[in-house]
A and B are shown apart, each in its own frame.
Chain A
Amino acid sequence: MIVQGVAIVVALVWSLAPVYWMVATSFKTELEAARLDPTLWPHAATSENYRNLWGGSLPFASFFANTAIACLATAVLAVAIATPAAYALSRGGFRLRGAVGHAILLFRMLPLVVLLAPLYLLLLHARLLDSSVGLVVGFTTFGLPFAVWMLKTFIDAVPIEVEEAARIDGYPRWQILARVVVPLILPGLVTTGTFVFMEAWNNLIYPLTFVTTLEKQTLPAALVLTFTGQFKTDWGGMMAAATLTTLPLMIAFFAVQRSLIRGLTSGAVAGA
């Protein structure tokens, strides 16, 4: 019992200490953050790092806005496109159903970095390079396989009788999807959308490669690019930027974590 308690405390420290460190550092002065014997908490707490982000030479607000808008658009778009596909795969009734299901799974496994070269050429010709549209198209497509898979497990849980009743009531498939199925999987839609949002927020390689103007960059790529210049030794500033980059993701994550697990595990756990 005591061992269990100690172990849990150790686990909590292990999980939370780095996050604390990040936030604590963000409130330290540049000097204090670079000390050879680091301080456990900021001795001279300051919010200058955060102020510098907003008013400084870097368009941090742009980075934040670019990322937020692109990821939000991606989440909405991916869910909108994936839902009919997940519905079709869940209810069946067409001969290529198995093949399509496997194909979508296959796309999930593809190493995206491999596709960067031809994708770069493709976007170049479509003049979507260095644009937010190109960004959203890429993020959405990469998020589709997972979204379809996750939404399908939510749709599978809707009893088929409710849909049959709607068919008997005279409604065609698209309307059944919109009026009957979707209202019943709203938590699933939100969860899937959040997950796609998080995946897009985390994506570094795509914006790094396809966005060339710094102002149009997303947060992850901007952090990497500016690190060589601005933040080389300014760890306080870097941690402040890092904290702000983390905040939206953390809020989104904790808002849906319970539903997230249900969606992730209903397929996995059901076999038990």
Chain B
Amino acid sequence: MAPRSAESMPWLDPMVLPTLALLAIVIGYPVVDTLLLSAQDYNLVGTEPARFVGAANYWKLLGDPTFRDALVNTAVYTFGSVGASSVLGLVLALLTENVAGRRGRLARMLLLTPWAVPFVVVAFLFRYMYLQNGGAINAVLLASGLVSAPVSWLNVSSLAMPAVMVANIWAMTPFFFLLLSAALAGIPGEVIESARVDRARGLSMIFSIKLPFLRNALVIGNLLMIIANFNDFAKIWAMTQGGPGYSTTTLVIYVYRQAFESFSFGYASAIGVVWLVLLLAFALAYLRAVRAS
């Protein structure tokens, strides 16, 4: 498309219309509706009709301890998992970077396997492995003498979240591994060679030479995964449904339960709006911080 002078450039290209139309109807309209719903006391199966209550739902949110727990859980789950995965992914990428030939390719391919497993399957698989009696993990721990009695991973509040996060990290690490491997491969050979001439080795080579080249990939990869993890439903729901108690309840789980177990659409929408604002604020701050440095 020839860049025309500003006066004659059209406003919109018809080619984007189908995409925009679908997005507007299926997502845009519900977003608006969510805002409206959040200001109502709307119960799908309630006996009373919907009432407009203004900001009442939001006040309720402020005093809701479960909401606060959900926020904390979401933060821990998201940032903890993404952080650990990117570090592990980086380690794996650096480990396999120089393994050449068929063996290297095979190893790298096999390391990607967890990413190809559907989320629901990850959840059930780990749920099976976390079984107190008969679970593979306890069996290994008992056999190696690391624990003396079987641990109830998913039924103890303090252990449930870490357990869920481990499953998440297992599934997410290959993404960072692949991303960073590609980024490492993209570092110009001359840079590495001149660093070697300058006697850079080992850790200093990694930190001062290679890491700056990985910065871009890390930034984008982290942002993508943080957004994805914020929305994670399948892995948690299929493993613990947010329990025991509310220890693994993230915002997603909380909204879902409010909307489809308690049928309080109004309140669920209010949580959603707050969540949306938080996510937007985070993304903006993140991008600005990245652009500044």
Contacts and interface: CB of A to CB of B under 8 A. Distances in A.
Check A-B contact in the complex, CB < 8 A: yes
B12 to A, nearest CB: 5
Interface in B211-246: 213-217, 219-221, 227, 230-231, 233-234, 237-238
A70 interface: no
A16 interface: yes
Contact of A220 (B119, B217, B279): B119
Contacts of A141: 22-23, 26-27
Interface in A195-227: 201-205, 209, 219-220, 223-224, 227
Interface in A75-111: 81-82, 84-85, 87-89, 91-97, 100, 103-104, 106-111
B9 A269 contact: no
Name which of A140, A205, A227 has the most chain B CB atoms within 10 A of its CB. A205
A103 B126 CA distance: 37
Contacts of A15: 110-114, 170, 174
Interface residues of A, number: 94
B163 interface: no
A85 B18 CA distance: 8
Contacts of B227: 108-109
Contact of A104 (B23, B31, B116): B23
Nearest to B150: A36
B18 A118 contact: no
Contacts of A114: 34, 255, 268-269, 271-273, 275-276
Nearest to B16: A85
A209 B99 CA distance: 46
A257 B293 CA distance: 32
A205 B256 CA distance: 9
B48 interface: no
Counting chain A CB atoms within 10 Å of each CB, the highest count among B112, B121, B135, B268 belongs to B121
B15 interface: yes
Contact of B16 (A37, A100, A118, A235): A100
Contact of B112 (A85, A219, A257): A257
Interface string B194-221: 0000000000000000000111110111
Contact of B128 (A25, A84, A219, A246): A25
A12 B255 CA distance: 37
Contacts of B135: 38
B125 A18 contact: yes
B221 A268 contact: yes
A93 B95 contact: no
A14 B251 CA distance: 30
Interface residues of B, number: 94
A110 to B, nearest CB: 6
Interface string A224-260: 1001000000010011001001100110011001000
B192 interface: no
A114 B251 CA distance: 10
Contacts of A108: 227
A37 B30 contact: no
29 contacts: A11-B92, A15-B111, A19-B113, A81-B22, A87-B15, A89-B16, A93-B3, A94-B1, A95-B10, A106-B280, A110-B31, A110-B276, A113-B255, A114-B34, A116-B260, A118-B29, A118-B37, A122-B33, A141-B27, A219-B118, A220-B120, A238-B124, A246-B117, A246-B118, A261-B181, A264-B182, A265-B217, A268-B216, A272-B186
Interface of A: 4, 7-8, 11-12, 14-16, 18-19, 21-22, 25, 34-38, 81-82, 84-85, 87-89, 91-97, 100, 103-104, 106-119, 121-122, 137-138, 140-142, 144-145, 148, 173-174, 177, 201-205, 209, 219-220, 223-224, 227, 235, 238-239, 242, 245-246, 249-250, 253-254, 257, 261-262, 264-265, 267-272
